């Protein structure tokens, strides 16, 4: 049986966006926040949520999030994905998960040790719809909710996130 010749590869030019790669400037204006009674500590799980209202659905919507250490994200009770790195911003396409009227973004956060924090923004048609702030609610037990503690000058200690990672995988419960 004859063996087929291997394919011949030809160089092609690839045009990359300005946000491609590490340490590029990109817009991420969310405030870093955490539970006011648990800014630092031993391993534990806690929760964050924020509701928002949409009069009209955007054509395209994205959730950008960064978390220290791991955050399982839900929009309107549907799993969006799991973000795992405070030095990277993970971006998810959430267009199909939004609905007219009241929407709810939730995050189950696992802190492995030391400080912990969360920052997120939802963009609709390239405009900010929602951003983590003092209005983000946190809970240590999923029952009692308090307004966020906003971390000032966070980048002075930890530096800016290094890149945006597009996560287009299909989320699975872990």
- Domains, the chain, in order of start with CATH, read 33-166 (2.60.120.260)
CA dist 95 and 134 (Å) reads 25
Q: List, in sequence order, every residue forming a beta bridge with 47; answer none if it has no partner.
A: 108, 139
> Each residue of 90-143: pLDDT tens digit?
999 999 999 999 999 999 999 998 888 999 999 999 899 999 999 999 999 999
> Each residue of 71-84: pLDDT tens digit?
999 999 999 999 98
Q: Is the pTM of this model over 0.95?
A: no
* Phi, psi torsion values for 41, nearest 5 degrees: 165, -170
DSSP 3-state percent helix, strand, coil across the chain (nearest 5): 5, 45, 50
Tokens of 102: 């009241």
According to the model, what pLDDT value does residue 162 have?
76
């Amino acid at each position: 049986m004859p063996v087929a010749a291997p394919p011949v590869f030809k160089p092609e030019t690839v045009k990359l966006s300005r946000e491609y790669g590490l340490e590029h400037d990109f817009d991420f204006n969310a405030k870093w926040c955490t539970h006011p009674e648990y800014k630092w500590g031993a391993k534990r799980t806690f929760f964050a949520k924020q509701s928002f209202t949409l009069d009209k659905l955007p054509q395209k919507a994205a959730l950008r999030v960064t978390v220290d250490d791991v955050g399982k994200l839900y929009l309107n009770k549907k799993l969006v994905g799991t973000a795992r790195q405070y030095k990277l911003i993970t971006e998810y396409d959430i267009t199909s998960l939004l609905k007219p009227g009241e929407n709810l973004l939730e995050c189950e956060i696992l802190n492995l040790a030391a400080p912990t924090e969360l920052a997120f923004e939802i963009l609709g048609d390239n405009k900010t719809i929602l951003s983590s702030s003092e209005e983000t609610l946190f809970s240590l037990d999923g029952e009692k909710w308090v307004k966020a503690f906003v971390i000032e000058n966070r980048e002075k200690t930890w530096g800016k996130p290094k890149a945006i990672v597009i996560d287009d995988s299909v989320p699975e419960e872990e």
